[in-house]
């Protein structure tokens, strides 16, 4: 039986998604995108994360991250934050805490274009910088994978997300009418310029540092 304890602070790190993350990622998917969940069946998620063009990251909490389990290539950011106190419960099993997925991001890379499939964070963990850190991580991953630009789709009504993407250099590149099947809402297409350009890289590094200073351990 799962037992719970209340955390006064939340520390997290971002790493590549694994098979054993799928149940929790599916929960976040359904919570964040109830009308359009990406890959509801377990088997679909499993196929997706082993697709050579797909790359998924998860934000996880843990008492003491097991550094022995970190991948050796080091492309991802090793992140540890102490965030403001919040009503948050982290599950434990058999008296030992296990990683609890609080957010995820997906990226498809085809030729020179990286397309962000989703960025989602659990409702009780929002507004504390995790979604922005996932965005930073997928842009960094796109660079690592030699993409030249990053694209995405976002609901026309989701102005908060559009503002965040705009902050990181995304501009409106098009619109898809009645794209979302639940309510016929349009999708706004957004894209970056060349992410290898000195202007983009300079601004990106400035934004990463500003985000780090705001949410670093206190």
DSSP state of 83: B
Sign, CA dihedral 6-12-14-16, equals negative
Catalytic residues: 153, 165
Q: Which residues lie closer than 8 Å to 150 by C-beta, 6 or more apart?
A: 113, 114, 115, 116, 138, 139, 142, 170, 191, 192, 195
Contact 131, 42 (CB under 8 A): no
Burial of residue 16 (CB within 10 Å: 0-12, 13-18, 19+) is middle
Question: How would you classify the pairing of strands 149-155 and 2-7?
Answer: unpaired
**Tokens (6 digits) for 54:** 């797909």
Give the span between the Cα atoms of 27 and 30, in whole angstroms. 5
Could you tell me how far CA 126 lies from the centroid of its own chain?
Answer: 12
Residue 204 and residue 110: Cα distance in Å, rounded? 22
């Amino acid at each position: 039986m799962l037992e719970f304890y209340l955390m006064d602070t939340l520390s997290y790190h971002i790493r590549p998604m694994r098979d054993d993350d799928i149940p929790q990622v599916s929960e976040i998917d359904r919570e964040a995108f109830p009308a359009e969940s990406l890959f509801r069946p377990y088997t679909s998620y499993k196929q997706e994360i082993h697709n050579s063009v797909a790359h998924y990251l998860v934000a996880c909490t843990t008492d003491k991250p097991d550094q022995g389990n970190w991948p050796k290539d080091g492309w991802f950011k090793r992140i540890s934050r102490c965030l403001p106190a919040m009503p948050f419960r982290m599950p434990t099993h058999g008296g030992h805490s296990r990683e609890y997925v609080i957010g995820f991001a997906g990226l498809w890379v085809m030729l020179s274009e990286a397309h962000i499939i989703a960025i989602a964070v659990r409702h009780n963990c929002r507004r504390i910088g995790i979604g922005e850190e996932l965005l930073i991580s997928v842009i960094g991953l796109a660079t690592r994978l030699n993409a030249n630009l990053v694209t995405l789709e976002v609901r026309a009504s989701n102005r908060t997300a559009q503002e965040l993407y705009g902050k990181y250099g995304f501009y409106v590149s098009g619109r898809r009418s009645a794209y979302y099947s639940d309510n016929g809402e349009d999708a706004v297409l957004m894209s970056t310029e060349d992410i290898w350009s000195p202007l983009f890289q300079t601004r990106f590094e400035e934004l990463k540092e500003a985000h780090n200073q705001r949410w670093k351990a206190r």
